[in-house]
Amino acid sequence: MSEGLRTGVFFLVRSDIIEQTDGGCYINLEISPNANQSGIISIDKWRRALKIDIAAEASRGEANKELIRFLEKMLPEAKGKIAIVKGLKSSQKRVFLPLRPKEAIEKLGLENDL
């Protein structure tokens, strides 16, 4: 991630990208399907979302399935509890994670970038 994205992003992420809720948090994502491999790319401060490349086509829900698989790989304790709550047919998604925001940031490996 570029140095420019790091400045002041923690506040942005805490208030706009990740929202605490009962039993976990919601995280805003911007998904790019058809990538060579799935992975976290950057933070889009204008869309207020975490950008993730997904190694699957956006047809027949394949990208959504791969997104869930990718997040479950990053967050094994959340397996079976991660849900796309908004944006099933959009690249902009809102996902429920059964973790506190700080825990989600740490487990996704973003603590040094935020």
The token pair at 107 is 């487990």
For the chain, give the mean pLDDT: 86
- Residue 112 covered by a domain: no
- Residue 43 covered by a domain: yes
Kindly report the CATH number assigned to the domain that includes residue 98: 3.30.1200.10
The token pair at 97 is 């994670």
- Residue 113 covered by a domain: no
What is the number of domains present in the chain?
Answer: 1
- Residue 94 covered by a domain: yes
Does the pLDDT of residue 68 top 70, yes or no?
Answer: yes
Q: How many other CB atoms sit within 10 Å of the CB of residue 36?
A: 7
Is pTM beyond 0.85? Reply is no
Q: What is the pLDDT of residue 26?
A: 96
Model confidence pLDDT, tens digit, residues 29-60 = 999 999 999 999 998 888 899 999 999 999 99
Domain boundaries, position 34: 3-107
- Residue 42 covered by a domain: yes
